[in-house]
Amino acid sequence: MSAKEAIHITDVAPRDGLQNQAVHVGTAGKLRLIELLVEAGLKSIEATSFVSPKAVPQMADAADLVPQVQVRFPALRTSVLVPNLKGLERAHTAGAKEVAVVLSATETMNRRNINMGLAQATEVSEQTLAAARALGLRTRAYIAVAFDCPFEGETPLDDVLRLAARMHAAAADEIVIADTIGSASPAQVKERFAALCGVVPIERVAVHLHDTRGMAVANAWAALEAGVRRFDSSVGGIGGCPFAPGAAGNVATEDLVLMAERSGFSTGISLDGLLAAVDFAQEELQRSLGGRAITWLRRQRDKNTQDKQDNNRRLA
Ligand code: COA
Ligand code: ZN
């Protein structure tokens, strides 16, 4: 039997998941969430963002959090979002080894998100990537609103291709194509990733999906079929951008893992481990969480626990 092909998952719950929550999660809670994700088998986590604390108060403790994560989980790929050189400088001072710049594919989204126009945001992203590389950091470049923009409608594919090529030329290790508002369809994913393959080597491309219209898992499958092997997701499906109205949470890590494993790919991630992280996040955020498969997954876990107890009783 041939070995299963691996896919690589970055859990973005501590950043994308928490940035827009009404309930404040403290540094200890974030560390515990990251610990549970590491225990579940995640090798890569987006831990926080070095943005203005006025713009995103939930991420104000980034400089405290990052050194603690690095010490406790030295083997983890800990990524942090940086919108500009100041963010990079703060991230580097905190000891971050991987940074993600965030470039939106439309004029208005860049202005709403990082207070720059598209041209300036592109240049600042390039400068930040170059400076990060000079510091020896690994880099990711988000292309946000790569399908639709909440302010400008459908994003022209040519703009996405041009920006992805610019970020590739700027030597970003990964180009993260983001469906920020969760509006993409599988057909659109198929079309856009086929075109992207012409400008960026597919090994460098990642996909970042939101589940606003319930199509995130179908879109992840379309990306898999297009050759993408790098995925962002968020445990419990928490997430959403405070500057992109109407966006729901990310594709849930547990849904993505279930789909990938059932389809013959290996993730190295334990579903029971993810459920423990969902349970913890629920307590912290004081509301029900979980992806589309959460009820079935919990039932499965309860059944396995019951079976084990019955077996032990029989053996005793
Ligand atoms: N981290 C912390 N503070 C920052 C910063 C950063 N990366 N970049 C700028 N600042 C500070 C400046 O030092 C300045 O502080 P002061 O008022 O005490 O002097 C203030 O923010 C304004 O600086 P300016 O360069 O004019 O920034 P701005 O007001 O144009 O805001 C961003 C630009 C990018 C900092 C802001 O829009 C932001 O943080 N956006 C968050 C984006 C985000 O997280 N979106 C969700 C994820 S995609
Ligand atoms: Zn997102």
pLDDT, position 239 = 86
Residue 161 has pLDDT above 90, yes or no: yes
For 297, the domain range is 5-315
Is ligand 1 within 6 A of the CB of residue 217? no
Is ligand 1 within 6 A of the CB of residue 142? no
pLDDT, position 316 = 84
Is ligand 1 within 6 A of the CB of residue 111? no
Residue 234 has pLDDT above 60, yes or no: yes
Q: What is the CATH number of the domain that holds 144?
A: 3.20.20.70
Is ligand 1 within 6 A of the CB of residue 241? yes
**Mean pLDDT (whole number) for 137-163:** 98
Mutate to test the pocket of ligand 1, among 19, 46, 48, 51 (most ligand atoms within 8 A of CB): 51
pTM of this prediction? 0.97
User: pLDDT tens-digit profile of 20-37?
Assistant: 999 999 999 999 999 999
Residue 227 has pLDDT above 60, yes or no: yes
Residue 1 has pLDDT above 80, yes or no: no
The string over 301-316, giving b where at least 16 C-beta atoms fall within 10 Å of a residue's C-beta and e elsewhere, is eeeeeeeeeeeeeeee
Residue nearest to atom 46 of ligand 1 (CA): 241
Q: Which residues are catalytic?
A: 241
Nearby residues for ligand 2 (ion, Cβ within 5 Å): 16
pLDDT, position 3 = 87
- For residue 249 the two structure tokens come to 């949470």
Distance 253 CA to ligand 1 centre (A): 30
- For residue 299 the two structure tokens come to 């039932």
Whether the CA torsion 265, 270, 275, 277 is positive or negative: it is negative
pLDDT, position 255 = 98
% of the chain beyond a pLDDT of 70: 99
Tally of structural domains, the chain: 1
**Mean pLDDT (whole number) for 221-225:** 98
pLDDT, position 170 = 98
Please report which ligand is nearest the Cα atom of 113: 1
- Alpha-carbon dihedral angle through residues 33, 296, 237, 15, given to the nearest 10 degrees: 20
Element (H, E) at 93: helix 85-93
Distance CA 212, CA 113 (A): 19
pLDDT, position 274 = 98
3-state secondary structure 229-261: CEEEEEHHHCCCCCCCCCCCCECEHHHHHHHHH
Distance CA 178, CA 48 (A): 17
User: pLDDT tens-digit profile of 64-89?
Assistant: 999 999 999 999 999 999 999 999 99
pLDDT, position 41 = 98
**Mean pLDDT (whole number) for 92-98:** 97
Which atom of ligand 1 approaches the CA of 83 most closely? Answer: 34
Which atom of ligand 1 approaches the CA of 114 most closely? Answer: 37
pLDDT, position 143 = 98
Is ligand 1 within 6 A of the CB of residue 87? yes
Angle, CA of 163, 166 and 171, to the nearest 5°: 130
Q: Poorest-confidence range of 104-118, 140-154, 240-254?
A: 240-254
Whether the CA torsion 151, 157, 158, 163 is positive or negative: it is positive
Average pLDDT value over all residues in the chain: 97
